[in-house]
Amino acid sequence: MQATTETLLQRLKTLGDLTRLRLVALCRQGECSVSELTRVIGQSQPRISQQLKLLCGAGFLERFRDGKRVFYRVAESGGRDEDLRPLLELIPGNDPLFIEDYKQLRQLRGQGIGEPDRDKAFELADRALHRALVELTVTAPCRRPARCRLRDEARSSSCLPAARAGQSGSTSMPMHGNWPAPN
């Protein structure tokens, strides 16, 4: 599908801003979080988010959420956005400003952006676990009300049978303040 002249002009205007051009260039390197882009570009988070919204609206970037973080990547080709690839290829990868941005991005990713105490491998494992939990939640929803599940869990708890039976020497703690009398 051929883009109309108006659409092409709007897309060129969107890429005409240096900040937006830098954001697209960084996202060409792979998925980037808002915190990564904010630190590399050196502007406030609201300002970067506004620029990213414009780039998504023009079809240059895709937005997706993974847990609490929001990530952006270059839109995959297909459908109406196939004509964007030639525009993205015009972004020079050897410009000194972009090279410096790439270096900063690699350096920040090596440190674990936003959470310097967390190991990068731990963060990746955490993301994989989150995705698996979301997938399980979506594919196998529970049909029973929460109060029924909680009641059943309380009944099957190891401390209730011992407390009801009055067994002494149990290592489990009785529920609801029914503490055994001291010897």
pTM > 0.85: yes or no: no
pLDDT over 70 at 43, yes or no: yes
Residue range 5-131, CATH number: 1.10.10.10
CA within 13 Å, CB half, 61: 31
Structural domain spans, the chain: 5-131
Question: Residue 67's closest CA among 37, 33, 116, 38?
Answer: 33
Q: What is residue 42's DSSP assignment? A: T
Question: Residue 36's closest CA among 28, 48, 47, 51?
Answer: 48
125 token code pair: 């494992």
Least confident range from 23-37, 43-57, 61-75, 78-92: namely 78-92
The residue among 4 and 174 whose pLDDT is bigger is 4
The residue among 122 and 70 whose pLDDT is bigger is 70
30 token code pair: 């792979």
Rounded Cα gap, residues 115 and 94, in angstroms: 30
Rounded Cα gap, residues 180 and 173, in angstroms: 9
Least confident range from 39-48, 69-78, 112-121: namely 112-121
Rounded Cα gap, residues 121 and 117, in angstroms: 12
